[in-house]
Amino acid sequence: MKGIQIERVQAMIEQLADYGRNADGSITRPSYGPAYMAAQDWLAEVMGQAGMEVTRDAVGNLTGTYAGQEQALPAVMTGSHLDTVPNGGRLDGALGIVAAIECVRSWQEAGWRPLRPVKVLATIEEEGSVFGLGCFGARAMAGEFAGSSPDDLQDKHGRRLSEFLSDQGLPPSALVDAVIDSSRYHSFLELHIEQGEELDLKQKPFALVTDIVGIDRHWITLSGQANHAGTTRMDRRRDALVAAACLIQQVYEAAIASNGGYVATIGTLTVSPGATNVIPGVVKLRVETRAADNGRLEAAHTHLAALLEAVGRRYGVKGVISKRHTTPAMQLPEGVLQELRLAVAAAGFPPAEEMPSWAGHDAKILAEHIPSGMIFVPSIKGISHAREEETYWEAAAQGIEVLNQALKRLACQRETLGTGGK
């Protein structure tokens, strides 16, 4: 076999980045937009040149199928997402798609055909930039919207999904049409940049992902008493913002004290009435915690509730968690992880770093239905979702070769694999 050509991967990444490239070099490619659809058309052409049959499903996920020797066998699937965040980078999602295409292209050039069919997937709307719902394309495949209508989903301007689909020549049919039959899929692999700095700090070329973290989001309201900023004594105030500041600091310090057990972020804060000469009466904020273990996630929630109660007593305000949304952690199946370890050895590399993913991915959604695994390659300085997003291409080449070996192993075995869970 001629093998993987990393220069070709780099060239494809640059070509794909032209679809949605901004003047400052960042990429904005929202799902269903002109740049996105042009990028999808280009990808379809490239997939076809690599010997794949190309299809689009009811919501716009793109799939290229490389035929196997026994087409009736469940397929091995690989890929990632095509959309970007506003002013994002050129590797997030795109590298996983391009890497998968390069693997298949190398097989075509060598005249090699796997036992099972192999599908290269480019999902739509993973970032949630249009409908505010992450991993939309993968969720549609998993059947999470099977009972919904395309008219139920709207963007921030009130534009319905059915309108987006109609504009792109996709029939505005029921979302059930995008649901896959999971029994027709043997496994799924996703190569992705880490989006953190662990691999860069440790100078590791790639890692195998063991878990994908759970995410716990809390909508919190702190209610004190709005009052005159000049005439109200300091010891008589019920300042909701001061209470919120104390809570934020304590949440931050608790996450540090967990020694890597979980991370916590407060990214939104609304102060009312929001006047310079009025003591804040109400503050609304959101606290997000992430952990690779569901026990840790629940413990962080319990501690947050205790902190909120203590802060309320101290400052004379009422603290309430008005809403909570939890996505549990997912342990990726040992069977797929073991295949990835064997692929590392087959590629001639020493045993790989193994680590959880602290970001959400399509693989987490699909892992509930299809045995799934992930490979990380470095993000330089941990930067992602920005134009500075970059990787070490020598390291990326190693990660792609592991993907290549893993796909070949999985696509040439008759055994089934188990799904994960935690």
Is the confidence at residue 420, as pLDDT, over 70?
no
Q: pLDDT > 70: what percent of the chain? A: 99
Is the confidence at residue 197, as pLDDT, over 50?
yes
Residue among 125, 99, 103 at smallest CA distance from 37: 125
Most confident of 125-134, 159-168, 223-232: 223-232
What does the pLDDT average to over 148-158? 89
Q: For 350, which DSSP code?
A: P
> What's the rounded Cα separation, in Å, for the pair 389 and 392?
11
pLDDT digits (tens, 9 = 90+) for 245-289: 999 999 999 999 999 999 999 999 999 999 999 999 999 999 999
Give the distance, in angstroms, between the CA of residue 317 and the centroid of all CA atoms in the same chain.
37
Please give the annotated binding residues for Zn(2+), written as ranges. 81, 92, 127, 192, 385
pTM of the model: 0.90
Using the Cα atoms of residue 332, residue 338, residue 339 and residue 345 in order, give the sign of their dihedral: positive
User: Which pLDDT band holds residue 168 (cuts at 50, 70, 90)?
Assistant: confident
Domains along the chain? 6-213+329-412 (3.40.630.10), 214-327 (3.30.70.360)
CA distances from 75 to 46, 69, 201, 304, 356 (A): 20, 11, 36, 44, 26
Tell me what pLDDT residue 422 has: 43
What does the pLDDT average to over 346-357? 98
Residue among 126, 64, 127 at smallest CA distance from 98: 64
Is the confidence at residue 336, as pLDDT, over 60?
yes
Please give the annotated binding residues, written as ranges. 81, 92, 127, 192, 217, 277, 290, 385
Contacts for 1-7: CB closer than 8 Å, 24+ residues apart: 1/106, 1/107, 1/109, 1/110, 1/112, 2/106, 2/109, 2/110, 3/106, 3/401, 4/102, 4/103, 4/106, 4/397, 4/400, 4/401, 4/404, 5/102, 5/106, 6/393, 6/394, 6/396, 6/397, 6/400
What does the pLDDT average to over 205-211? 98
Tell me what pLDDT residue 151 has: 87
What does the pLDDT average to over 203-232? 97
pLDDT digits (tens, 9 = 90+) for 76-124: 999 999 999 999 999 999 999 999 999 999 999 999 999 999 999 999 9
Tell me what pLDDT residue 157 has: 92
Tell me what pLDDT residue 421 has: 45
What does the pLDDT average to over 14-43? 98
Q: What is the mean pLDDT of the chain?
A: 96
Is the confidence at residue 174, as pLDDT, over 80?
no
